[in-house]
Amino acid sequence: MLTVVLPWPMAAQAKTTDEKTEKYDLIVVGSDPEGIAAAISGARNGLATLLIDTRPEVGGLMTRGWLNVIDMNMAPNNLGNRNEILNKGIFQEFYRQIGSGTFDVPRAQEIFEQMLGQEEDLELCLGVKYFSPVMGYQKGKPVVEGVKVEDKKGEITTYTAKGIIDATQDADLAAAAGVPFSVGQEDAGYPERKMATTLVFKLGGVTPEDWQEIRRVLTVDNDWFTGATNVSAWGFGPVMEQYRPSNARVGIRGLNIGRQKNGTLLINALHIFGVDPLSKESRSEARRLAEQELPRIIDYMKENIPGLQNCFLAEVAPELYIRESRHIYGEYRLTIDDVLENRDFPDRIAFGSYPVDVQASGPKEKGAVVGVPAQYAIPFRCIVPQRVDNLLVVGRAASFDSLPHGSARTIPVGMATGEAAGAAVALSIEEDKTFRQIIKNSSLINQLQELLNDQGMDIEPFTWRAPEVTKHWAYEALKMMRKHALVQGGYSNNYQLDDIITEEDFIHLLQELSHLYVISIPGELKDKKGDPDLLSGKKAALIISQYAGQEMSREEAFDYAMEHYGDKNISDSLADNDGRLTRGAAYSLLKSYVEKNKTK
């Protein structure tokens, strides 16, 4: 299970005189790949660096959560191909040694240990019982001056440093220091919603011949989204959708399979819903639910998945794979529009191109691909937290809205931000400037980017055309729907704005928006389900009037709606479609209705 141990409990600590103190230039907390990259980057810039973690070995999600398939971020080109790694530097060093996007877990740990061991200025402090930030104040502002740790022997040490990097999965250090954050998808209007947690499990009993059968089936199934190689396979979604769990909090999707050198298979597919990632008790319960369900899942797979007829449950990962928890508020917060409009930033430190993959958050809240960027930049401001100085935050807890986090949470992006953070600490020390001062100085930002390029990164300006949908007359209304995850463009970025909307979809959107923006609706309509029929503009206007508590005829409602919520684009669209309502027109109508009636 996840074993991040929170400090006393999650309270920032002041220095006391009866404890041992040691000084470093840089302290990195968290030895996930992002923290490893940060520590190596700092050490290579001549910083005396300490890497701290509660775990007994490095690698985090890769080595403890057994996430052995890398979500690659590849560089686009004008031919439409993606065959070049977007974030180079330390991530590319690791990738070249591991050999592919699917890897053997023990080999990954070995490579990480070798990379860390090559740095003379880098020390490890693993298996600590707890850690907490040591706080001070400069010019009335809170500053993280170090980290207090109790080690395996029970000895308490205060480590101070000129720069601190929080590379924990959940921004534990930053939260304890007072950095503001949101949790899960509360920024999108859903405070209880978080992407599902996964327990990766290992199968034995799969022979080389069995693996070839898996490959054969996924090669000839005529499904564009399935496939297999010598070391990985992905598919069987329709089969696994038929599985009925014994507990509603557990689900399973199509199988992502990573084959290990010893012939065992790691399966990333099991979902546990309703997990509070910041609660040790909730994480323990999630693990228990998953382990209870796994025997039934294995039996189902043996009966229904070709090649797995003789498989057995060999083991489960030491840690849960938790996709999201805290999202800090930094000096800039990456938005879904930044990602899907392919935006660059002057203070770029890393790039992303992975699809915005939002996993299921419950049995009824299915996962979806919101859209696919060509390329976007991560600003340095996204790792500089608000309110607290001398601290950077990297990884999936950085300053990303929850939706773009579906793309930016990937390990290649996280390792790139980690590398940038290590270099930024070196620059901050050399120039005697705070991270916030660096943000405001374009010359220092250029120096940081040059430093990263010298380390093997390729941090250069780019221009990729925004998707065609941005030119659509209803795009502003689409953005409103998209920021609440109410619409998805899929892998083709097709939002179907010119297709006719159904009554069912229109009512669902109206109900969701009324909830999000606290617009009162009659009680009998809160759970109303619409018909699957295509919707006319007049029927849509009547539905809006009913939800607004107005008693009108269909004609009166239409005239009222067009006067108060309509515009020429909506009128022209209705005329061009024989009075039927396109999705674009529906989104525009609803956007105007919300803006004029919202109380939040």
Alpha carbons 410 and 91: distance in angstroms, whole number = 12
Which residues are within 8 A (CB) of 234 and not within 5 positions of it... i.e. 6 or more apart? 218, 225, 226, 227, 228, 254, 255, 256, 257
Q: Do 407 and 532 sit in the same domain of this protein?
A: no
Alpha carbons 65 and 61: distance in angstroms, whole number = 4
Interhelix angle for 411-431 vs 442-454, to 10°?
120
Alpha carbons 135 and 14: distance in angstroms, whole number = 6
Q: Do 441 and 490 sit in the same domain of this protein?
A: no
Q: Do 24 and 165 sit in the same domain of this protein?
A: yes
Q: Do 397 and 530 sit in the same domain of this protein?
A: no
Report which of 445, 440, 207, 437 is spatially closest to residue 306, judged by C-alpha positions: 207
Are 119 and 49 spatial neighbours (Cβ–Cβ below 8 Å)? yes
The tally of domains found in the chain comes to 3
Tokens coding 483? 């920021």
DSSP secondary structure, 386-437, as one string: SS-BSEEE-STTSSB-HHHHHHHTSHHHHHHHHHHHHHHHHHHHHHT--HHH
In a domain, 231, yes or no: yes
Sheet containing strand 201-204, edge to edge, reads 227-228, 232-235, 250-259, 265-272, 201-204, 312-316
In a domain, 559, yes or no: yes
Q: Do 29 and 172 sit in the same domain of this protein?
A: yes
Final residue before a domain boundary, out of 411, 430, 454: 454
The total number of residues shown for the chain amounts to 600
The H-or-E segment that residue 261 falls in is none
pLDDT per residue of the chain (600 residues) written in tens, 0 to 9 = 222 333 333 444 444 446 799 999 999 999 999 999 999 999 999 999 999 999 999 999 999 999 999 999 999 987 666 789 999 999 999 999 999 999 999 999 999 999 999 999 999 999 999 999 999 999 889 999 999 999 888 999 999 999 999 999 999 999 999 999 999 999 999 999 999 999 999 999 999 999 999 999 999 988 888 999 999 999 999 999 999 999 999 999 999 999 999 999 999 999 999 999 999 999 999 999 999 999 999 999 999 999 999 999 999 999 999 999 999 999 999 999 999 999 999 999 999 999 999 999 999 888 899 999 999 999 999 999 999 999 999 999 999 999 999 999 999 999 999 999 999 999 999 999 999 999 999 999 999 999 999 999 999 999 998 899 999 999 999 999 999 999 999 999 999 999 999 999 999 999 999 999 999 999 888 888 989 999 999 999 999 999 999 999 999 999 999 999 999 999 999 999 999 999 999 999 999 999 999 987
Alpha carbons 107 and 256: distance in angstroms, whole number = 20
CA dihedral 541, 547, 550, 553 (to 10 degrees): 40
Q: Do 513 and 392 sit in the same domain of this protein?
A: no
Q: Do 419 and 483 sit in the same domain of this protein?
A: no
Q: Do 312 and 329 sit in the same domain of this protein?
A: no
Report which of 68, 29, 78 is spatially closest to residue 52, judged by C-alpha positions: 29
The H-or-E segment that residue 451 falls in is helix 442-454
Alpha carbons 255 and 211: distance in angstroms, whole number = 14
Find where tokens 């009866």 sit.
Answer: 18
Find where tokens 């850690």 sit.
Answer: 131
Label the pairing between strands 265-272 and 250-259: antiparallel
Final residue before a domain boundary, out of 454, 485, 512: 454
Tokens coding 423? 């270099």
In a domain, 110, yes or no: yes
Report which of 42, 52, 58, 46 is spatially closest to residue 22, judged by C-alpha positions: 52
In a domain, 412, yes or no: yes
Q: Do 31 and 180 sit in the same domain of this protein?
A: yes
| Greatest CA separation for the chain | 81
Are 305 and 339 spatial neighbours (Cβ–Cβ below 8 Å)? no
CATH for 105? 3.50.50.60
In a domain, 146, yes or no: yes
- 166: helix, strand or coil: strand
Residue ranges making up the domain that contains 64? 20-73+84-184+325-337+380-454
In a domain, 300, yes or no: yes
Q: Do 333 and 481 sit in the same domain of this protein?
A: no
- The stretches of 17-140 forming alpha helices (DSSP H) are 33-44, 89-98, 105-117
Question: What is the CA angle 378-384-389, rounded to 5?
Answer: 170
Find where tokens 């993606």 sit.
Answer: 82
Q: Do 34 and 169 sit in the same domain of this protein?
A: yes
pLDDT of residue 465: 87
In a domain, 403, yes or no: yes
- 241: helix, strand or coil: helix
The H-or-E segment that residue 560 falls in is helix 554-564
Find where tokens 């590849």 sit.
Answer: 74
pLDDT digits (tens, 9 = 90+) for 453-498: 999 999 999 999 889 999 999 999 999 999 999 999 999 999 999 9
Are 380 and 347 spatial neighbours (Cβ–Cβ below 8 Å)? yes
Are 128 and 54 spatial neighbours (Cβ–Cβ below 8 Å)? yes
Q: Do 168 and 35 sit in the same domain of this protein?
A: yes
Phi, psi (degrees; rounded to nearest 5) at 133: -75, 140
The H-or-E segment that residue 141 falls in is strand 141-150
Which residues are within 8 A (CB) of 15 and not within 5 positions of it... i.e. 6 or more apart? 21, 134, 145, 146, 148, 158
The H-or-E segment that residue 15 falls in is none
Final residue before a domain boundary, out of 425, 454, 483: 454
Is the pTM higher than 0.85? The answer reads: yes
Alpha carbons 309 and 312: distance in angstroms, whole number = 9
Are 148 and 156 spatial neighbours (Cβ–Cβ below 8 Å)? yes
In a domain, 61, yes or no: yes
